[in-house]
Amino acid sequence: MKTPQFDIPCVILCGGKSSRMGEDKALLPFSNYNTLAQYQFDRLKPHFKNIYLSSKTNKFDFLKSDENIIFDNISGESSPLIALKSILETIKSDNVFVITVDTPFVKIETMEKLINESLSNSTIAITSREHNLCGVYKKSCLPIINEMIKENNHKIGFLLKKIELKKIEFFDENEFLNLNKKEDYQKALSLI
């Protein structure tokens, strides 16, 4: 078996509300796959030591068990910050690469750069805007995340101001196309 390229775990965030899409983005068909979640999982799996999906429930038919799912550990609430808390509390590694299910065009070379730049700090990708959920987060963020949740502050942008962070600039906007609305999804299907 080939050794994975990256010695840190990857977590694909799949627990969003998908309110602008009107249906669960993670379960939309994509490329030759039944779901976007399966597409991302299969695309990234060969490159990472371990790969997980973050979700409130196991809605993934392609997984044989729950072992590759990190469940949000605060019931009744939902936010990327709660997902990040659950991930960092579950993962044994000090670092984790995080990416959303709805960014299927982020290149492996981009991930490599974000990982390589994360030796002493967390990293996120930026283009014309910050991509807060594409990068490396460190377990050392947990105390700040716990404090924020206690104060009912769920804004990732606020977390990023409080941690040691390196923003890595990229120039291809389409690489970070986020499938929030039906039009975004249609555009993505035309780019495959």
Q: How far apart are CA 50 and CA 155, in angstroms?
A: 27
Q: How far apart are CA 177 and CA 103, in angstroms?
A: 6
Report whether 49 contacts 4 (CB < 8 A): yes
Mean pLDDT of 181-191: 93
Q: pLDDT exceeding 70 applies to what percent of the chain? A: 97
Say if residue 185's pLDDT is above 60: yes
**For residue 110, what are its two tokens?**
């981009």
pLDDT in tens, 136-151: 999 999 999 999 999 9
The tally of CA atoms less than 13 A away on the side-chain side of residue 175 is: 17
Instruction: Give the E-state strand segments of 50-154 in sequence order.
Output: 51-55, 69-71, 95-100, 122-126, 130-138
pLDDT in tens, 71-98: 987 766 779 999 999 999 999 999 999 9
Q: Kindly indicate the confidence band of residue 4, based on its pLDDT and cuts at 50, 70 and 90.
A: confident
Report whether 135 contacts 124 (CB < 8 A): yes
> How is the chain split into domains, by residue range?
10-191
CATH number for the segment(s) 10-191:
3.90.550.10
